[in-house]
Amino acid sequence: MTQNAIEITALQKTYRGGRGEPEKHALNGVDLSIPAGSIFGLLGPNGAGKSTLINILAGLVIKTSGNVKIWGFDQDQNPRQSRAAIGVMPQELNLDPFFSPRGALEVQAGLYGVPRAQRRSDEILEMVGLADKADAYARTLSGGMRRRLLLGKALVHQPQVLVLDEPTAGVDIELRQMLWSNIRKLNQDRGMTVILTTHYLEEAEEMCDEIAIINQGNLIARDSTSNLLGQMDAKTLVIDPVSMPQTLPSADGITVEQRANGTLAFTYQSTKTTAEEVLSVVQSAQIHIRDVKTEQADLEDVFLKLTSSR
Ligand code: ADP
Ligand code: MG
């Protein structure tokens, strides 16, 4: 058992340019460790290099330089073991239309050298909700079913590390829920390390223990989700007053703003000012409170702050 499921050092990828086009530096020396047992989010704007990084882990893209260790196995020195430790659900729906879900899982198991006696196609089909479609042609499956089959394919060799590239992009809410509950189960019940890319920041915020953000091929943040969110310590207390005061109250460290919907927004730094201090400002201004709520920064704010400042 290793501490880190993945260890990436100085990883670079330069795609050769096509006719007359310049080469493309997709990854500029990324160092990243991903702890075993975590649900890890890899975030970044379009073209940041997320899929490149994941496809290098999966062995689908050849790195230009740097080192990759998967479950302690160096990709160059122990290609077979490092490949066996990881299962990847790709971003693209690449399924052979002539295979049934069961057939596709069996072929995949064969590719990974899983002996017949150890294959668990039925159990996997059950898990991803395709048991009743086990023998249907892949081309008759809906987009959502195909995605679930891709998840199943990533699991046939029981990898320690599961990687999902934009698993819920463009899927409906029901399927998203199902994928998330599958992922949580794999992580909790089997201790599987899960790495996912997503551009739904809300989802990363809810699902991921730790997050890395990449931008233009560089790692620009890597921390626990709660620390990343803690970076933005602006909080807002929104008060619905019984009646609007003649003049807005003011106090050091608190910004007061009247909103179009007739509420008053008090914004403050939660590390410097307490909610109690804000409320006492409200009270001494003789504002009577009909209702109150709080707002705080979410991952989207952190993300925008980090990716727009470069
Ligand atoms: P992301 O998944 O974060 O959207 P990608 O890893 O797909 O980003 O792409 C990173 C950069 O590398 C982009 O500028 C993209 O255009 C470029 N790129 C990706 N694949 C190739 C390729 N096969 N050939 C040339 N450039 C590529
Ligand atoms: Mg991508």
SS3 assignment for 107-135:
HHHHHCCCCHHHCCHHHHHHHCCCHHHCC
pLDDT of residue 216: 93
> Whose Cα sits closest to atom 5 in ligand 1?
49
Secondary structure letter of residue 184 according to DSSP: H
pLDDT of residue 48: 93
Secondary structure letter of residue 279 according to DSSP: H
Is 120 found in the same domain as 147? Answer: yes
Is 63 found in the same domain as 195? Answer: yes
Residue 288 has which token pair?
A: 């009577």
- Phi, psi (rounded to 5 degrees) for 135: -115, 15
Is 304 found in the same domain as 165? Answer: no
Is 104 found in the same domain as 71? Answer: no
pLDDT of residue 56: 96
Domain boundary among 194, 210, 230: 230
Domain boundary among 194, 215, 230: 230
d(CA 171, CA 156): 23
0.95 exceeded by pTM: no
d(CA 267, CA 288): 18
Instruction: Classify 15 as helix, strand or coil.
Output: strand
Is 241 found in the same domain as 132? Answer: no
Going by C-alpha positions, the residue among 62, 86, 87, 59 that lies closest to residue 72 is 86
pLDDT of residue 309: 58
Is 163 found in the same domain as 77? Answer: yes
Cα(49) to ligand 1 centroid in Å equals 6
Residue 273 belongs to domain spanning: 233-308
CATH of residue 44's domain is 3.40.50.300
- Alpha-helical segments (H) within 61-213: 79-84, 101-111, 121-127, 143-155, 173-190, 201-207
Is 268 found in the same domain as 147? Answer: no
Cα(199) to ligand 2 centroid in Å equals 10
Is 243 found in the same domain as 133? Answer: no
Cα(26) to ligand 2 centroid in Å equals 11
Cα(91) to ligand 2 centroid in Å equals 7
CATH of residue 304's domain is 3.30.70
For the chain, which residues score pLDDT lower than 50?
1-2
Is 241 found in the same domain as 145? Answer: no
> Mind listing the pLDDT tens digit for each residue in 124-162?
999 999 999 999 987 788 888 889 999 999 999 999 999
Is 293 found in the same domain as 268? Answer: yes
State how many domains the chain has: 3
> Whose Cα sits closest to atom 14 in ligand 1?
47
pLDDT of residue 143: 85
Q: Is the CB of 48 under 6 A from ligand 1?
A: yes
Is 186 found in the same domain as 45? Answer: yes
Residue 257 has which token pair?
A: 């703003």
Domain boundary among 191, 209, 230: 230
Alpha-carbon distance values, 44 to 19, 32, 48, 227, 277 (Å): 28, 15, 6, 18, 37
Q: Which ligand sits closest to the CA of 212?
A: 1
> Mind listing the pLDDT tens digit for each residue in 84-128?
999 999 887 777 777 899 999 999 999 999 999 999 999 999 999
Q: Is the CB of 45 under 6 A from ligand 1?
A: no
Q: ∠ CA 143-148-152 to the nearest 5 degrees?
A: 145
Is 198 found in the same domain as 61? Answer: yes
